[in-house]
Amino acid sequence: MKINDHVTWVGINDSSSKQFHGDAYRTPHGTSYNAYLIEDEKNALIDTVYSKHSHDFIEKLQNTMDIKSIDYLIIQHGEIDHTGGLMDLLEIIPDVIIYCTEECMYTIKGHYHRDFHFVLVKTGDILNLGKRKLMFFEMKMLHWPDNMMTYLLEDQLLFSSDVYSQHLDKSGHMTQQDKIDEAMKFYANIFTPFSRLYQAKIKQIKGYDLSIKTICPSHGFIWDNRDILNYYDLWSQDYQENQITILYDSYWGGTETLAKNISEGILVEDHTTIVKCFKISTCEANDLILEIFKSKAILIGSPTINNGYTSSIAALLNDIKGMRYHKKKASAFGCHGWSGEAVLQIRDFLKESGFDCLDKSLNCLWQPDESNAYEAHLFGKYIARHS
Ligand code: FEO
C-alpha cells in the first residue's frame, strides 16, 4: 500500500489473531503489524512484523523491491511483534545497518542472541537518505526503554512506533470513531502508567517545531490528521469522564445485590453520572481497564473468602496497581458470613495504589435484607456526592 510516491506500507494485516501479549489483551478486531519502506538514494525499512508472519512479510517485500537494495533497517522497538521478521531478513541482507536506540540493541540481542551492525541513535540525530532525511526521537518507557519515533522531514510524516496505535486489522472497514475507541483502549491498557513521561516527551518534541501531517503507528490505521495527538494530550493528563464504575465478584448473589442497589443510589443522587456495573468474572480484563481509565471513581466489591477477597478480584487489583492512576476516587463493598476482611483489604490496596479512598465503605453480614439494600442505596448516594 503506497502512502506516497516513495513511502510504502509493507506490513501484515492479521484478522484472525484475537489475542495479543499472550492471552493478556483481547483483540476482537484483529490487528496489523506495520512496517514501512522508504525509497530514496538509500532505501530504509522501518520495523518488521511478528515472527509468525515473517514468511509472508519477506514475500511481500520481495514483491515490492529487491530486498538486497535495502540499505538501512530502522528498528523503533525490540518487542517481537516488530522484530519477528528480523532473523529471516538478515539471512538475506546480513550486513545491513540497523539504526536503533542503545536499549533497543540490548533488546534485540536479548531476544535473538545475535550481534549485528548497529548504529545507535539519540533524540535529534538525522539519517540522510539522499533527497530525504529521517530524524529520530527516543521514547524511553513509551512503552519499553527502547522505543523511538522516526520523523520523515520532507513529508512531515511521523512513524510513531506503538504510540497512537490501535489493535485493528487495517483491511477491515472502520469508522473514525472505531479507530479512536480502539486507540483509547490501547492507551488505557499500555500507556496509562507512562502518562507523565508522554507529556514530558511531547513537550521535548514540540521544541523541534515539527509540522506533522501524517502519523504512521506500528499497529492499525494510519492517521491522516492530527486528531490523535489531541486525544493523547487529553488521555495523558489524568483523564476521566463523568463515570462511576462498579466492579464486583459474587459467590451467592449477595455482593451482586449490593452492587445493583449502590448503582441505583448513585443515579438517584445524580442522574447525569454514567454508572457501569460489571461482574468481573464475565468480562475481559482489558475492557475493565478501559472502563476504569474513563472513571472518576470506582467501587470494588467482593465477598470474603478464606479471610480475603476472591481470586478474580485479586487479579483485577494486580492490573490496577500497575496502572498508576491519579485523581480517581474509590471505595469497596461486599458481603460476608463471619470474618469479613475483604472490604477493608480492598480499600487498603486501592489506597496504596494511588486512589483517593472515600471514608465510607460497605460491609454486609450474610445476604442483604431490605434494610441492607437500603443501606447500599444510601451508600450509592454518598458515592455520587463525593465523586
Ligand atoms: Fe507493538 Fe510494544 O509492541
pLDDT band at 168 (very low <50, low <70, confident <90, very high): very high
Q: Hey, is 242 helix, strand or coil?
A: coil
CA angle 23, 25, 29 (to 5 degrees): 110
Cβ partners under 8 Å of residue 332, min gap 6: 299, 300, 301, 302, 342, 343, 344, 346, 347, 350, 361, 362
Nearest CA owner, ligand 1 atom 3 = 79
pLDDT at 171 over 90: no
Reduce the DSSP state of residue 369 to 3 states and report it.
coil
Across 62-88, average pLDDT: 97
Q: What is the pLDDT of residue 50?
A: 97
Region of 26 on the Ramachandran plot (φ > 0 left; ψ -120 to 50 alpha; else beta): beta
Q: What is the mean pLDDT of residues 131-138?
A: 98
Dump the DSSP string for 163-184. TT-----TTS---HHHHHHHHH
What 8-state DSSP symbol labels residue 364?
A: E
CA distances from 316 to 266, 288, 301 (A): 23, 9, 11
Query: Relative to the CA of 161, which ligand 1 atom is closest?
Result: 1
Q: CB of 85 within 8 A of CB of 112?
A: no
Write down the mean pLDDT value for the chain: 97
Contact at 8 Å (CB) between 366 and 252?
no
Residue 80 Cα to ligand 1 middle (Å): 8
d(CA 180, CA 324): 23
Ligand 1 nearest atom to the CA of residue 219, by list position: 1
CA of 148 to the centre of ligand 1 (A): 12
For residue 163, how far is its CA from the centre of ligand 1 (angstroms)?
9
Q: Average pLDDT for residues 323-335, to the nearest whole number?
A: 97
Residues 385, 383: Cα–Cα separation, whole Å? 5
Phi-psi region of 81 (alpha: psi -120 to 50; beta: other; left: phi over 0): alpha
pTM for the whole structure: 0.96
Look at residue 24 and tell me whether its pLDDT is greater than 90: no
| The pLDDT of residue 347 | 98
Separation of 84 CA from ligand 1 center, angstroms? 11
Q: Rounded CA gap, 358 and 171, in Å?
A: 47
pLDDT at 372 over 90: yes
| pLDDT on residue 17 | 85
Are 221 and 180 a contacting pair, CB within 8 Å? no
Q: At 194, is the secondary structure helix, strand, or coil?
A: helix
4 contacts 156 by C-beta, under 8 angstroms: no
Q: What percent of the chain has pLDDT over 70?
A: 100
pLDDT tens for residues 34-48?
999 999 999 999 999
The set of protein residues with a Cβ atom below 6 angstroms from ligand 1 is 77, 79, 81-82, 143, 162, 218-219
Q: Which atom of ligand 1 is nearest to the CA of 218?
A: 1
**Atom number in ligand 1 closest to CA 144:** 2
Give 23's pLDDT tier (boundaries 50, 70, 90).
confident
Q: Which residues, including other chains, have CB under 8 Å from residue 180's CB and lie 6 or more apart? A: 227, 228, 231
Instruction: Give distance in angstroms: CA of 162 to centre of ligand 1.
Output: 5
pLDDT digits (tens, 9 = 90+) for 119-129: 999 999 999 99
pLDDT tens digits, 92-113: 999 999 999 999 999 999 999 9
Distance (Å) from CA 366 to ligand 1 centroid: 46
**Hey, whose CA ends up nearest to atom 2 of ligand 1?**
79
